[in-house]
Amino acid sequence: MRPRWRFVKILVYLLPVAFLGVFFVYPILTLFDISLRPDGALDLSAFAHLTSSDYYRETLLFTIYQALISTGATLLLSLPCAFVFARYRFRGRSLLLSLATLPFVLPTVVVALAFSAVLGERGLVNDMLRLLFALDEAPIQLERTLAIIIIAHVFYNFSVALRIMTGYWSSLGFHAEEAARCLGAGELAIWRDIRLPLIRPALLSAGVLVFIFCFTSFGVVLILGGIRFATLEVQIYYQAVSIFNLPLAAALSLVQIASMLLMLLVYTASQRRLQIPHGGRSEHSARPHTPRARMVVFITVGLMAILLFSPLAALLWRSLFAAGNLDATGFTSLAEKTRASLLFTTPLEAVFNSLRFALIATSAAVILGTAAAFLIEQRGVWSRLVDPLFMLPLATSAVTLGFGFIVALDEPPLDLRRSWIIIPVSHALAALPFVIRSVLPSLRAIPPSLGEAASVLGARELVKLRTIDLPLVGRGLVVGATFAFTVSMGEFGASLFVAQRESVTIPVVIYRLLGHPGLQSYRQALAMSVILMLVCAGGFLIIERLRGAGVGEF
């Protein structure tokens, strides 16, 4: 290898490492510093306060408790659906599977608002029940209960579990269960002896991932639950922003980081088991022939559609109709300044902000993520070191990240607290692991012989990169870009911390509008949520389609 090429390579590899160092490691270390040495000397009083207080112990316990229930409910619902999706081929299957991913890319504030639109006191279901039974009060009182938080979490994470399990189940195939059937196993015995044991790695993997998401859930808990149901994440926000107890907030962040690291370890371990091939083939699904099978498919798909799309439909309905009449004032007033004094910008400007930040964050995340993926793929000592390092942002909650930013990047040369650039930077950081995880599998799937063949045929390093590696990871890149874009559009926790008045994003504006009394604010929040939902859904669908068209090229 020529020295100049080597130099360029090292420079490219250094980029993501430097980015991670400055915008992740440094802020987190600052958090450590604040929590452990608030006044320059070692002072563990914040931790002492944490451990001695029942209140904070309960916060941690509640965080775990709600995540456990949410995870259990998600798995319980998605397992049979995954089976149906893996087992049967039916019309609209791939479309539904694609659409099922939609909730996952939706921002938490949108999901929270969608659920209040369908199940809340002013929600569709209550409206209908009131109308039907001529009631004065809303019969379903779910707002600010644990139940609505859990339902929203299920909605949110359903597709994650569904995708992991469907994919794994399809790759396993159904020969093992057919073999068991021929050996005399009935339906019950097959579930007990074959299906559940075989799907267990995917169940575990999906479970840990969903648990992680629920553990760090911020927007859903903040909006649907209120302070009564404070999770660690919400508590950090309150301590830092409302009470301004920075050492305590930092100590809570450390607890959060430690818990997440632990779970990430479990997750990587479960992932490793997931990759063990069982010698299955890929095409196993069959049409549901028997009436019973058709019934199973019909019921599953029906229930899934209701769970997944009724909140979104309710959100859309609520944003366009008030008391049964068309009322689009939520949309038409977006360009007006609201009476909410918190907002100096109009909601429309927030839309432009969000789009601008998302484009910057996506470009940054894709470039840095691809460089990082190539670095990890080197398979040296270096790569083994940096691989888990790049996953850390995933293990750090958005709130912690945002908090770290404002306490760390506050003095020259890195005084970014008042700069808008800090928002796309935080988004890019959050999106980085997604990009890496999307690119890495396709990169690893390229057999070394391809590069060697290209070399033998006369391709130089750069030509090899351009003609072999990049085209082959193209699909992964597109997937990574989707993630980055949607992550940025919907990012709430960090933005809430770092956004300045003139640089607020859509989710932040929605949250502020919700906190402001008055019908106009509520309708504007609904309208903004619909816009955000459509942007995320649109971007997602476009890229899904691009990906579908691109597959044929390689």
Q: Which residues bind another protein (CB under 8 A)?
A: 173, 175-176, 178-186, 189, 193-194, 197-198, 200, 276, 278-281, 287, 289-290
Based on CB atoms, which residue is closest to another protein, 242 or 282?
282
Cβ-based nearer residue to another protein, 175 or 272: 175
- To another protein, the closest distance from the beta carbon of 200 in angstroms equals 8
Q: What's the rounded Cα separation, in Å, for the pair 301 and 508?
A: 34
Quick one: 278 or 418, whose CB is closer to another protein? 278
Work out how close the CB of 75 gets to another protein at its nearest, in angstroms, rounded to a whole number: 19
For another protein, the closer CB: 201 or 490: 201
Minimum distance from residue 278 beta carbon to another protein (Å): 5
Other beta carbons within 10 angstroms of residue 214's beta carbon come to 28
For residues 448-471, one letter each, b for 16 or more C-beta atoms within 10 angstroms of the residue's C-beta and e for the rest, the string is: eeebeebeeeebebeebbeebbee
CB of 196 to another protein, least distance (A): 10
Report the interhelical angle of 347-377 vs 3-20 (nearest 10°): 130
The first and second tokens of residue 265, run together, are: 């370890």
- Residue closer to another protein (CB basis): 180 or 446: 180
DSSP state of 195: I
Q: Which two tokens stand for residue 340?
A: 């909410």
CB of 281 to another protein, least distance (A): 7
Q: Would you say 94 or 467 has its CB closer to another protein?
A: 94
- Tell the smallest beta-carbon distance from residue 186 to another protein (Å): 5
Q: Cβ distance 80 to 300 under 8 Å? A: yes
Report residue 551 as tokens.
Answer: 């597959």
CA pair distance 361, 431, nearest whole angstrom: 8
To the nearest whole angstrom, how small is the minimum distance from the Cβ of residue 172 to another protein? 9
Count Cα atoms within 13 angstroms, Cβ side, for 163. 16
In the bound complex, what is the minimum distance in angstroms from residue 204's beta carbon to another protein? 13
Q: What contacts 514, CB < 8 A, 6 or more positions away?
A: 113, 223, 521, 522, 525
As measured in angstroms, the least distance from the Cβ of 97 to another protein is 19
Dihedral angle of Cα 126, 129, 131, 133, to the nearest 10 degrees: -140
**What is 492-516 written as a DSSP string?**
-HHHHHH--GGG--HHHHHHHHHHS
In sign, the C-alpha dihedral spanning 199, 205, 208, 211 is negative
> Which are the contacts of 530, defined by CB distance < 8 A and separation ≥ 6?
315, 316, 319, 331
| Residue closer to another protein, measured from CB, 4 or 91 | 91
Residue (228 or 292) nearer to another protein, CB:
292
Query: Contact, 369 vs 439, CB < 8 A?
Result: yes
Smallest distance, another protein to C-beta of residue 168, A: 13
Nearer Cβ to another protein (194/232): 194
Of 279 and 448, nearer to another protein (C-beta) is 279
Q: Are 495 and 403 in contact, with CB atoms under 8 Å apart?
A: no
